[in-house]
Amino acid sequence: MDDLFKKLVSHCKEYGFIYPSSEIYDGLSAVYDYAPNGVELKNNIKTYWWKSMVQMHQHIVGLDAAIFMHPKTWKASGHVDAFNDPLVDNKDSKKRYRADQLIENFLDKLDEKINKEVEKAQKRFGNQFDEKLYRETNPRIQELKTKWIQVNDRLVKSMSENDMAALKQLIEDCEIADPDSGSRNWTEVRQFNLMFNTQLGNIAGEEGKLYLRPETAQGIFVNFLNVQKTSRLKIPFGIAQIGKAFRNEIVARQFIFRMREFEQMEMQFFVKPGEEMQWYAYWKSKRMAWHLALGTPAHKLKFHDHENLAHYANAAVDIQYDFPFGFKELEGIHSRTDFDLKSHQELSGKKLQYFDSELNENYIPYVVETSIGCDRMFLALLSNAYTEESVPDSEGEASTRVVLKLHPAIAPVKCAILPLLKNKPELVDKAKRIFDDLKFTFLCQYDDKDAIGRRYRRQDAIGTPFCITVDFESLENDTVTIRERDSLKQERVSIAAIEKIIGDKISWKTLFEN
């Protein structure tokens, strides 16, 4: 899987998806730029999310709040005091880690050991095997489970009490070694605030201190009454936003999985207090369906309940994706209670209450949030789409191709138009005319360089779902061949039919109906 990850990173660079930021100066750690194909894919992901949230729901509207916000925002939200990660350094390797993640990885290893025990027994006992009973009674599994529970309880307690010494002790008691060097020579664990800050104009000191927002959600909270009133919304309703967020991450070694500048797609759903758990369940299932509709296999996605709840939440779950480095958070669904609105009301002195005309009373709504990183979604889709396979070449010999099997609706380029030969002006003219017609509807590419087989491979590598080839028969009867990326099937169709054939396959409507 490590190998797949390396291949993905270099594929992204070579085929114009992602570049390291300011590469001529050797890059900037955990900051990346989206290249021409990358920006198309990213925009399509955002469109899919925006349409599914705003266009498909009558009671959800959009917002685009500024990145800079009044500094009190971050005091009220708890980010100034509590948006910390526990940091620990290894004295020998000089590598820095998040202490909680080192311990979580240790817990994952215990889980793996338990699963291995089960697998071994399954092989031994065959059809007779009762997994549930085995898990409940096998002494070795019981021992590992007890250890898991003890370590997890200590982790949750030290995190919720901000007890850094207890975290250090836990690392020592579990004999956790630096994954890089194997050394157990750790520094003390320290708190580290993840917010970037800057200054407003020429105002020096605390007065002018500004933060780059670490999440987009607060822009929604502070605008909650503005939006509710101007859009005349009744509870339950939602506000959706896509935008940049910034976090000074301690460990950022996983390409676009953990960046210091990234993009979030967040929706805050405002509900009547007491109804939040039913909406939490609703959004859990809606969001999972959103992922599955893109063709991501169900076994690569799973829910993971939070043991260690954030200061604002009364329930929280992650949708995890099986990245090349294991199952990790892709999206969070959180029941945030009335924490944020209440804190903003207290600190600003402005009422942030909703008047419920049915109940004839004012209250602060509860909030259920869905929050997904656009960049992590990009990485998940690319990891799932990247395929190396053996296919017959034009002579019928087996050859290897790299193909991105992206859903046609989100693929960067929808269709490539390829004249069979570039030195035949009639073919080139006809192909260019087709391009000029289709460009109004889809993002197309015209390509006449190299042999046709190589051109197909180039399009496969960026995930283009359709290739149109203009050949000599096209000149006689206005037909072309249309090649489908995954099946490699080629069909002869009339030029007039291309727009509809491709249009149906890439349509958002088809995707949503599925």
Residue closer to ligand ATP (CB basis): 53 or 418? 53
Q: Residues 20 to 39: which contact ligand ATP by CB under 6 A?
A: none
- 372 interacts with ligand ATP by CB under 6 A: yes
Q: Are 367 and 337 in contact (CB under 8 A)?
A: yes
Does 369 engage in binding with ligand ATP (CB under 6 A)? no
The verdict on 409 binding ligand ATP (CB under 6 A) reads no
d(C-alpha 493, C-alpha 71), whole Å: 60
**C-beta of 32: minimal distance to ligand ATP in Å?**
10
Residue from the set 37, 44, 77, 371 that interacts with ligand ATP by CB under 6 A:
371
Based on the shown chain and the rule CB under 6 A, indicate whether residue 262 belongs to the binding site for ligand ATP.
yes
Which residue in 40, 89, 178, 249 binds ligand ATP (CB under 6 A)?
249
User: Shortest approach of ligand ATP to residue 289 CB, angstroms?
Assistant: 17
Minimum distance, C-beta of residue 53 to ligand ATP, in the bound complex (Å): 15
Looking at the Cβ atoms of 327 and 512, the one nearer to ligand ATP is 327
Please report whether residue 259 would count as binding ligand ATP according to CB under 6 A: yes
User: In the complex with ligand ATP, which residue's Cβ is closer, 192 or 442?
Assistant: 192
Residue closer to ligand ATP by CB (options 372, 406) is 372
Question: Is residue 337 at the binding interface for ligand ATP, with CB under 6 A as the rule?
Answer: no
DSSP state of 349: -
**Cα 171 to Cα 100: distance, rounded to the nearest angstrom:** 9
Distances (CA, A) of 472 to 28, 169, 417, 449: 51, 76, 15, 18
Find the binder of ligand ATP among 331, 447, 460, 471 (CB under 6 A): 331
- What are the angstrom distances between the C-alpha of 118 and each of 134, 322, 438? 8, 21, 56
Residue from 330, 364, 404, 418 binding ligand ATP (CB under 6 A)? 330
Count of CB atoms situated within 10 Å of the CB of 290 = 20
In the complex with ligand ATP, the residue whose CB is nearer, 256 or 434, is 256
Residue 283 is a binding residue for ligand ATP (CB under 6 A): no
Beta bridge partners of 354: 363
Compare residues 97 and 456 and give the one whose CB is closer to ligand ATP: 97
Taking CB under 6 A as the rule, does residue 332 contact ligand ATP?
A: yes
**Contacts (Cβ under 8 Å, ≥6 apart) of 456:** 418, 467, 483
Q: How far is the CB of 291 from ligand ATP (least distance, A)?
A: 12
Supply 446's token pair. 């015209």
For the CB of residue 254, give the shortest distance to ligand ATP in the complex, in Å. Answer: 9
Decide whether 258 or 457 has the Cβ nearer to ligand ATP. Answer: 258
Could you say which residues in the range 195-234 bind ligand ATP, by CB under 6 A? 215
Element (H, E) at 328: strand 326-337
Q: What sections of 323-424 are H helices per DSSP?
A: 339-348, 374-385
CA within 13 Å, CB half, 194: 23
DSSP per-residue codes, 47-78: HHHHIIIIIS-TTEEEE---S---THHHHHTT
Classified as helix, coil or strand, 385 is helix
Near ligand ATP by CB under 6 A: residue from 42, 79, 168, 258: 258
Counting other chains too, the contacts that 144-151 makes at CB distance below 8 Å and 24 or more residues apart are 144/110, 144/113, 144/114, 144/117, 145/114, 147/110, 148/107, 148/110, 148/111, 148/114, 151/103, 151/106, 151/107, 151/110
| Nearer of residues 81 and 143 to ligand ATP, judged by Cβ | 81
Q: Do the beta carbons of residue 249 and residue 260 sit within 8 Å?
A: yes
Q: Which stretch binds ligand ATP (CB under 6 A): 88-96, 175-183, 330-338, 482-490?
A: 330-338
Q: How many residues lie near ligand ATP (CB under 6 A)?
A: 16
User: Which residue is nearest to ligand ATP, using beta carbons?
Assistant: 373
Q: Which is nearer to ligand ATP, 241 or 464 (CB)?
A: 241
| Closest distance to ligand ATP from the beta carbon of 256 (Å) | 7
Q: Which of 190, 193, 158, 161 is nearest to 173 (CA)?
A: 158
Answer whether 242's CB lies under 8 Å from 50's CB: yes
Residues that bind ligand ATP (CB under 6 A): 215, 247, 249, 258-259, 262, 264, 329-332, 371-373, 375-376
